[in-house]
Every structure is written in structure tokens, then in C-alpha cells.
Amino acid sequence: MERKSARASLTEGNLKRQLIYLAIPMVFGMLGLTIFNIVDALYVGYLGTKPLAALSFTFPVVLVLNSIALGMGMGASSVISRALGSGDHHRVVR
């Protein structure tokens, strides 16, 4: 009996449906980060204008650091995926 793989195949079937399926976790992640930042600003706002200004000042720094980490993660994911696809498991482990 042939067993079906649990992996998602991005080369077969409806591409639009598969992209939406892959995007759903990212949407929830971004929504969670946005809600976190709004609630954080709300609570810090109760402390006064100076703490809220400090939070507003550091937000771009945190955003840049998160963007760098996200970019490195996506780049590593791409390299690892290509190595797995070509069967180069030594490069994946490295």
C-alpha cells in the first residue's frame, strides 16, 4: 500500500490555495506582533509621556533588528531548501 506524504507539494494542485495556506500562519504572527505593540504602548502610556516617548524612540531600532533577523532566517531557509532539494545533506547539516 502506497503511503501519502504529509509534506505540502508546491508544484502540484492549486497554487493560490497553497500560497494562502502558507500565508495564514504569517498573518497571525504579524497580527500578534501588532497587538503586542499596541497593548505595550497602551500600558506604557499610563506611565506618562516620557516613557511613551522612550518607547516610540526605541521602536524603529527594534523594527530594524527584527527585520535583519527575519531576513537572515528567510535567507537560511532558502539555502537549506535548495540543499535539501539537490540532495546535499552534508551542506544542510553544516
- Is 25 within a domain? yes
pLDDT tens track of the chain, all 94 residues?
455 555 666 677 787 888 888 889 989 988 998 899 899 999 999 999 999 999 889 888 988 998 899 889 888 888 888 888 888 888 777 7
| DSSP state letter for 23 | H
Question: Distance between CA atoms of 77 and 79, rounded to whole angstroms?
Answer: 6
- Is 58 within a domain? yes
- Is 86 within a domain? yes
- Is 30 within a domain? yes
- Is 7 within a domain? no
- Is 4 within a domain? no
Total of domains in the chain? 1
- Is 9 within a domain? no
How many residues does this entry show for the chain?
A: 94
pTM (two decimals): 0.57
Written as one string, the DSSP assignment of 40-87 is HHHHHHTT-HHHHHHHHHHHHHHHHHHHHHHHHHHHHHHHHHHHHHHT
